[in-house]
Structure formats: C-alpha cells, structure tokens
Chains A and B, each alone.
Chain A
Amino acid sequence: MDVLLTAFDLVFTPYVLLVMLGAALFGLFVGSIPGLTATMATALLIPITFFMDPVPAIAAIVTTVAMAIFAGDIPGCLLRIPGTPASAAYADEAHAMTAKGLAEKALGASLVCAVIGGLIGTLVLATTAPLLAEFAIQFSSFEYFWLACLGLSCAVMISTGSVLKGVVSLLIGLFISTIGIDITAGHPRFTFGSVEMMGGISFIPAMIGMFAVSEVLRYVASNRQKPQVSQQAIGNVFRGLGPVLARYKINLLRGGVIGTAIGILPGAGADIAAWVAYAVSKKFSREPEKFGSGHVEGLVDSGCANNAGLSGAWVPALVFGIPGDSITAIVIGVLYMKGMNPGPTVFLNQPELIYAVFVAFFLANLALLPLGFLAIRLARQVLRMPQRVLMPIILMFCLVGAFAINNTVFGISIMLVLGLLAYLMEENGFPIAPTILGIVLGTMLEDNFMSSMIKADGDLLGFFSRPIALVLGIVTLCIWFLPPIIRALRSTRGRAPQ
C-alpha cells in the first residue's frame, strides 16, 4: 500500500500533470492528422524526455499515445480518412454514420469506448503483467503463422459485397506486401532496381492514398454533393450514449479483452487489434447485415480494442524487454535510459516507479474523456469549411503526411498510385478494406510461414507440433471449413425428405 501511495505522490505533482497536459494536446493533434502516427509522436518525444525524470518522461509517452489513437477516429469519422492506422478498420463505418447524420453519436461512442478500452488494458497490465508475459513468450513462428491466418479470415468477414472481389482485393494487398527485400532470403523482389522500392511499400502512405486520395477523387468525380458535415450539429456528443453502452456492454468487454490480448503478443499492435475486434463483432452480432451501413456496434468493439491494445503492448516490454508494438519498441529504449531496465526484477527493484507508470496510464485514459470532447468540438470548427475549400487542404496535408513517414517523395508516389487503384476498385465493387489488411498482415504471414518451414525442415505437420499452435491451427481450420461443411450438410438434409 505504501508503494501505491508513493506512486501517487510521484504522479500527482504539478510538474508531471503539466507535462501530461502538454503531451495530451500534442497527441490529439498528431493523431488527428493523417500520416502522423502515434509511433512518430513517440519518437519525436524522445529528445525531450532525455531531460526528464523517469515518471514524467514515461507519463508523457503514455498520454501522447492514448490521445493520438483516439484522435485518429475524428478525421476517420468526419472525412473517412483515418488519422492513424489503428482507426482504419472502422473509418468506413464511422463515416457511414456521419453520412446518416449520426456523427455526434459515432464520435461520442468512439471516445467513451476508447476510454473504457484503455482502462481495461491498463487494469490487465497493472494486475497480471508478469503472468501474461510468461504466456506470450511461448509464441513462436508457428503460433504467429496461425494468428496471421486468423487475421486474414477477418478480411473476408468484414468485406461487404461479392466474396470473390473481396478475395481479389486481399490478394492485391498480399502482393503489395511482397514488394521489397524479403527478410527470409534478403532478395529484392519486384523492385526493378529501385533503391526506394527495396524498402517496400510503406503502410502509412498506402493507407492515406487508399482512403484520402480516393476520397478526393470521388469528390471531384461525383455530381452530387456529399452530405455536408457542417450542416450537422455536433452538440453534446455524450447525449444518448447511455443506452448504447448498456446495450453493447458485452462488446465493450470483448473489445477490451481482444485488444489487450493482441497488444500483449509481440509484433501485433493496436491496428491489428481493431481489425480483429471489428470482424469478431460482425461475426457474433445479432444484426450483421447492418455492418457497413453506419451501425454503431462494430465501433464499440474496435474503438475499445485499439486503446486496450496500447496498454497490452507494455506487458512483454516491461517483463522481457520484447516490444509488443512499434511504440513500446521506442519505450524500451527510454526505460533503459532511465535506469528502469526491463525484466521481472523491475517489479521488485523499483515497484514505486512501475506503479507510478500504471497510475499515469489510468490518469491518461481518464483525461481522454474531457480532452477528447474538446478535440471533437474543435474539429467541428475546422469542418465548417465548404468542401471545395476543404478538399485541396486535405490533399496538401496528406501529401506532407505521406512524405513525413520516410521523408521522401517516394511516399507520395505510393499514395498517388494506391489512391488511383482504390478509386478504380471501389467504383467497380471491389472492397478496399481487405487490401489494407493484406498489406498489414502479408509480411507477418510470409515471414512466419518461411521461418516455420525452415524450422520444421519442410514438414507441414510442424505447424501442429506445439500445443498452442495445435489449438490455434484447429480453430483456424474450423473457422475456414466448418461453415461450408455445415451448409452442405444442411442442404443435403433439407433435400432428404423430398
């Protein structure tokens, strides 16, 4: 108990609170601009945290990231341009709600779910980190291969319309992920001698292109004006939220748990958590047909999951020094610099510091509620602009965002090409969500497949040789093959009495 009190003392000083407020504003800003990610925000904080004590340094990072991941929902909802990759999974859905005049409800739900998700993740982190890390570290390439397969099945679940076109879209995404030097053999693929291509197709410019540039093109090409966001009153975003949350309390819990779990696994972070939570939400929903048409249910799950994933990622980072996502990869460096070397001993040697970090986590997520509310109100002011003024400005922001990822105009080329591709695809009924998921999961799928094959000397049974892999493998195969088999059985049984 003493430790906890010391921890509170460490956090509740004017200096730390001020640092957290500054970090919060920074995070909200970075998150709401497409192309500036939470990871980048963290990297930018590093030189500043050099000169801080451990607690304010880490509190600043925690706060920035929590704010940024929520803020990514704002442009996703209002403009269909996700601010960070973690919002990509449900940008379509949220924007469909805006189109129906429900922007207020969508943003309110996003905000409250983000807060709840963050709190669930933090609770798990604070109470069971060492135990869960012990489990997560049991995952080898076999397990990750099956997880990637499960992730891919999400693509089919979330895509609307023709299954065939969904598969084509997924394969295009997977192909894009093979461009560049592959880590299995170190051979440059489909680069045609270009050094820039060797680096592969960066996900962020690809995402900006597929969402934002295609949106601008659609605006130019469409004759009808889209519903003006500015015409909608965004008043009290919390109005009418109570019944929604009460109705979807299971979804909240499920989103939080899925998000935390995926966050804990090294190599998968908030973005994948949001995709999976959204797909699971649709799969188990009583009204799956409403998904994609502006239905709040999927938002609840995935909005909760991505913020929960952030805390989850700290579990292996703190316990084993193995990053749970790209943000904690940077955080580990900061921990070392501040003398809080990751390892189980950090809980024994400096418990007050670790608990202070947890307190900062709770505080950051609670502060999200008022500050996020403020951000939504501010965003509305920006969106008062007529679209003919807004569209060129959006294009310019995207251009700079795509450039900023690697500081090269090659990012802009990626954005342009994939923007045109996405426009053509959507016009012809090819969903773009599977392409994006393919780019996200392609490398994970291939790398782990190749590693596993090398480890098993080419024996496919190796994929079932370990207990967790066996379970995951069977689950995956069931998800893939049971529904068609059941359908086939039903139809034969239905025919039998005739």
Chain B
Amino acid sequence: MRLNDAVFGIALLFFAFAVIAYSQTFPATFGQNYGPDLFPVLIGSGLAICGAVLTFRGWGARKVVPWVELGAWAQDRQKLVTFMLIPAALVFYILFSDFLGFLPTALLILFVLLRRFSVAPVNALGIACITTLLIHTVFARFLLVPLPWGLLQPIAW
C-alpha cells in the first residue's frame, strides 16, 4: 500500500501535536528543572517539522503521485484475505492462547495458514502437528518458557 507523502506528513503532524499536548500533562519532578516531558516534546517537534516538509513535498507531487495507491494484492480479494489472516492469527493467539493453551492454538493457526497457502490438507495437518510439538518440546521443556497449557492442563506432561 503506497500513500502520497502528504498523507504521511499530515498523519505525522497530528501525531506530533498529540504527543506534545499529552506530554504537557506530565508532572514536574521533585528538585529538578527538566521533567519527563522534555524528550517527548523535542521528538514531537522534530516529527512536526518532518511532517510539514513531507506534506509540502507530497502536495507538490500530487499530480504525479496519487493520494493512496493500493498494491495489486489489495484489489485481489483472495490476497487481501490472506494478508489480513496474518495479523488475525496473532490477535487470535493473544486473546485465546491462555484459555485454550499453546498446543491447540498453535496447531489451529499453523493449519489454517498452511491451508491458506495451499498446502495439501494431509500435509498441512502433519506439518502443523510436528511443528507445534517440536516448538513446545524445545521451548517449554528445554528452555523453560512457560507456554500456557490452558484446557490441556489436566493432561500436562
């Protein structure tokens, strides 16, 4: 997805002002002349300047560069769904891994993604199972990462 520089510029300007405004709520610190707001304000100012220049540039080039140019993939419905599936898979893990447990969640995500990337069903299931078990053994067993058991707690090994 390509955007005209001006779109970025304006977004940066808004963001910069939000940062600066919010930094004003930080308290002054005990016994000090410089508070926690100094750096955010400096960074915000820098972003505001860059944003203004980008806006100016993008405006100049608006005849050549369109405001928003979606990549070919975004017009392709199938590809768009696949693209959205990646963040969706991560969000699914974030929300449900604790309840479902690592094994079911990882298995499901891997299987769905592999199928979506058109791996044959049997292969996809096999690969998902092996990968999930491998990761679980290595990380939870040997590297002591506390991957959640979730629903499988009673049969935890």
Contact = CB atoms under 8 A, between A and B. Distances in A.
A392 to B, nearest CB: 4
Nearest to A424: B1
A220 B86 contact: yes
B21 interface: no
Given A412-B93, A446-B39, A453-B33, A171 B46 contact: yes
Interface string A25-48: 000001000001000000010000
Chain A interface category by residue count: 35 or more
A58 to B, nearest CB: 21
Interface in A392-420: 392-393, 395-397, 399-400, 403-404, 407, 409, 412-413, 415-416, 420
B47 A395 contact: no
Contacts of B14: none
A158 to B, nearest CB: 18
A132 interface: no
Interface in B47-73: 47, 50-51, 53-54, 71-73
Given A175-B19, A396-B131, A220 B34 contact: no
A263 B69 CA distance: 45
* Of listed A164, A221, A223, A395, residue having the most chain B CB within 10 A: A221
A389 B127 contact: yes
Contact of A164 (B39, B54, B131): B54
B87 A389 contact: no
Interface string A321-341: 000000000000000000000
A395 B43 contact: no
Given A217-B83, A221-B73, A171 B47 contact: yes
A168 B47 contact: yes
A221 B50 contact: no
* Of listed B23, B89, B117, residue having the most chain A CB within 10 A: B117
Contacts of B39: 174, 178, 446, 449
A400 B135 contact: yes
Interface string B99-119: 000000010011001100111
Contacts of B1: 424, 427
A452 to B, nearest CB: 10
Interface string A406-446: 01010011011000100010011000000000000000001
Contacts of B144: 44
A388 B90 contact: no
B86 A187 contact: no
Nearest to B144: A44
A450 interface: yes
Q: Is the interface of A mostly helix, strand, loop or mixed?
A: helix
A446 B12 CA distance: 22
B155 interface: no
Contact of B36 (A187, A213, A388): A187
A187 B109 contact: no
B47 A388 contact: no
* Of listed A168, A217, A391, A407, residue having the most chain B CB within 10 A: A168
A486 interface: no
B36 A404 contact: no
Interface in A168-206: 168, 171-172, 174-175, 178, 182, 184-185, 187, 189-190
Nearest to A33: B138
Contacts of A427: 1-2, 71
A483 to B, nearest CB: 20
Nearest to A443: B39
Given A185-B29, A187-B27, A389-B127, A178 B79 contact: no
Nearest to A453: B34
A187 B85 CA distance: 38
Interface residues of B, number: 62
Contacts of B73: 220-223
A167 interface: yes
B25 to A, nearest CB: 10
B8 A184 contact: no
B22 A164 contact: no
A175 B109 CA distance: 33
B145 interface: yes
Given A221-B83, A388-B118, A392-B110, A175 B47 contact: yes
B94 interface: yes
A409 B145 contact: no
A213 B87 CA distance: 9
Contacts of B12: 168
B24 interface: no
Interface string B6-43: 00100010000001001100110100111110111001
Contact of B93 (A168, A223, A409): A409
A428 B8 contact: yes
B46 A189 contact: no
Contacts of B2: 427-428
Nearest to B31: A454
A404 B139 contact: yes
29 contacts: A167-B50, A168-B8, A172-B47, A175-B19, A175-B40, A175-B47, A182-B36, A184-B32, A185-B27, A185-B36, A187-B36, A190-B19, A190-B22, A213-B86, A220-B85, A221-B71, A221-B73, A223-B72, A388-B114, A388-B117, A389-B117, A396-B135, A399-B90, A412-B93, A415-B90, A416-B90, A416-B91, A420-B87, A454-B34
Given A216-B86, A404-B139, 18 more contacts: A44-B144, A184-B36, A185-B35, A187-B36, A190-B22, A222-B73, A388-B117, A389-B127, A393-B110, A393-B131, A396-B110, A404-B143, A407-B146, A409-B98, A416-B91, A420-B87, A454-B32, A458-B34
